[in-house]
Amino acid sequence: MKSFLSNLENLIGEFRSEEYYSIYARPSAGKTLYVLEEAVNLISQGATIIYLSTENGFEGLFEEWKPKFEEKFNVKVTEQNFKIFKIYNLENLMDFLGRSINITIGDKGKMTTFLVEEKKKNIDTLPIHISKAKNPVIILDSFSVLFREDFNTATQNFSARSDAVGFLFATLKEIMRKYNAFTIMLHHASIDPMNLYNQPDKMRGGTIISYYSKYILYFEVERKNTMRDYRKVFGVRLAGKKDWVNFAWLRIDDSGYHDATITEAEEAYSRK
């Protein structure tokens, strides 16, 4: 399956089964808008979307943009080809993935613990839904919210947090392999790609994300007012390519995302 954006396809190629595609951006950078538009594009190619939403406000954004994207891609979005599941926390997500975990929040100065329990036998799990789906695509929006409450940044929690991140990725990988699916995962970020001292593996999730994701994109929001509708997309990690070297320009308007050229971006930047 192909992205509707040629500039992104030049970075990541076609979407491949059993792969993670991680997208980082600051809040309100337009990452949910992008992945929603990409989802409708993939539906037009025969995919079934399994959308796991941890964010507030997704429903309103979905209803606002769905008619525009249906017209753009000439496809009807239904409950059968776009399945939305609300996820409240990490334990809730793992339960939906068919695994049971237990997270005990440590008191001040004490360690948070993470334990894996027996496999769940619920009838309402992702494997059940995905087994009935044609060309399944999993979208998790977003990864970061799942860890915000259960794991703070205290050093004593690093071990449990690392175990939890690894278990989540490994469990999803097993499901993707079994049902020939791929996953697009959104993450929060607050990094400056031009700052050589600020590395992507310092973001929530750490190096485990880089271990599992061969394709990692960072959507940079330019600070200049004339650039507010442009996104510079960095290839943080692209299989077979150097990190942070390749990039693409995109533009947003009231119909969604579009490819943009370097010339367009330069002209927008030069305007006062």
- 207 inside domain: yes
Does 135 map to a domain? Answer: yes
103-112 LR contacts (CB < 8 Å, sep 24+): 103/150, 103/160, 103/164, 105/150, 106/156, 106/157, 109/156, 110/156, 111/156, 111/157, 111/159, 111/160, 112/150, 112/151, 112/152, 112/156, 112/157, 112/160, 112/161
The predicted-structure confidence for 17-40, as pLDDT tens digits, reads as follows 999 999 988 888 999 999 999 999
167 found inside a domain: yes
Q: Which domain holds residue 27?
A: 6-89+123-153+162-270
| 110-162: pLDDT as tens digits | 555 656 665 555 556 899 899 999 999 999 998 888 877 666 665 666 677 77
**pLDDT class of 70 with cuts at 50, 70, 90:** very high
Considering the entire predicted model, what is its pTM?
Answer: 0.89
* Total of domains in the chain: 1
Is there a domain that residue 84 lies in? yes
List the CATH number of the domain containing 84: 3.40.50.300
